[in-house]
């Protein structure tokens, strides 16, 4: 790196970080779960966003805190509200893949104004238009990587 401005060294390092090395575990509920179940899961797992999977285990939707707050404004009992009717549904889900750069995932969080991205892999064979869930990238993931980049000891 001799003779190069420090900024480009940092940028080079930043653009080498991969989603696969930073992703966290996806926290999921099934499409038939109730909004009540989803809220309980949110607290038990200490996350802000849940991913919803269908019977085959493929990604069906995303459920945010505000999706659940909105549902709880209605008069209906939350036990009787299936998450399938309040989630943001496929194919309108913004995703990333394990081999993507963490930077590109962070850019999606900003561009789409969302807190969380499911990390997915297309299913094998005839199910290839479906996604298997392999992780999550959230604003926390990005903040952790940012702190790591800024700490001298960890290069």
Give which of 117, 119, 111 is closest to 139, Cα–Cα. Answer: 117
Q: Choose the binding region for ligand ADP from 38-46, 52-60, 77-85, 113-121 (rule: CB under 6 A).
A: 113-121
Examine residue 116 and tell whether it contacts ligand ADP (CB under 6 A). Answer: yes
DSSP string, 32-92: T-BHHHHHHHHHHHT-SEEEEE-TTSBEEEEEEHHHHHHHHHSSS-GGG-BGGGTSEETTS
Give which of 97, 88, 134 is closest to 115, Cα–Cα. Answer: 88
Q: Which of 18, 90, 114, 149 binds ligand ADP (CB under 6 A)?
A: 114
Examine residue 89 and tell whether it contacts ligand ADP (CB under 6 A). Answer: no
Residue closer to ligand ADP by CB (options 1, 112) is 112
Q: Which of 41, 88, 97, 130 binds ligand ADP (CB under 6 A)?
A: 88
| 44-73 positions binding ligand ADP, by CB under 6 A | 49, 62, 64-67
Q: 58 forms bridges with which residues in the sheet?
A: 132
Closest distance of CB 50 from ligand ADP, Å: 10
Taking the C-alpha atoms of residue 85 and residue 96, their distance in angstroms, rounded to an integer, is 24
Residue where the block lists tokens 């913004």: 94
Q: Choose the binding region for ligand ADP from 9-17, 37-45, 112-120, 141-149 (rule: CB under 6 A).
A: 112-120
Residues that bind ligand ADP (CB under 6 A): 49, 62, 64-67, 88, 92-94, 114-117
């Amino acid at each position: 790196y001799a003779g190069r401005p420090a900024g480009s060294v940092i940028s080079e390092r930043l653009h080498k970080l991969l989603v696969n090395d930073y992703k966290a575990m996806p926290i999921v509920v099934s499409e038939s779960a109730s909004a009540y179940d989803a809220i309980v899961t949110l607290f038990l797992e200490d996350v802000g966003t849940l991913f919803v999977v269908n019977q085959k285990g493929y990604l069906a939707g995303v459920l945010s805190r505000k999706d659940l707050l909105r549902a709880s404004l209605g008069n209906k009992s939350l036990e009787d509200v299936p998450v399938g009717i309040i989630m943001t549904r496929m194919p309108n889900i913004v995703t990333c893949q394990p081999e993507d750069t963490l930077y590109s995932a962070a850019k999606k969080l900003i561009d789409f104004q969302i807190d969380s991205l499911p990390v997915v892999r297309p299913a094998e064979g005839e199910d290839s238009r479906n996604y298997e869930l392999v992780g999550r990238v959230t604003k926390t993931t990005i903040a952790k990587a940012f702190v790591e980049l800024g700490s001298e000891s960890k290069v």
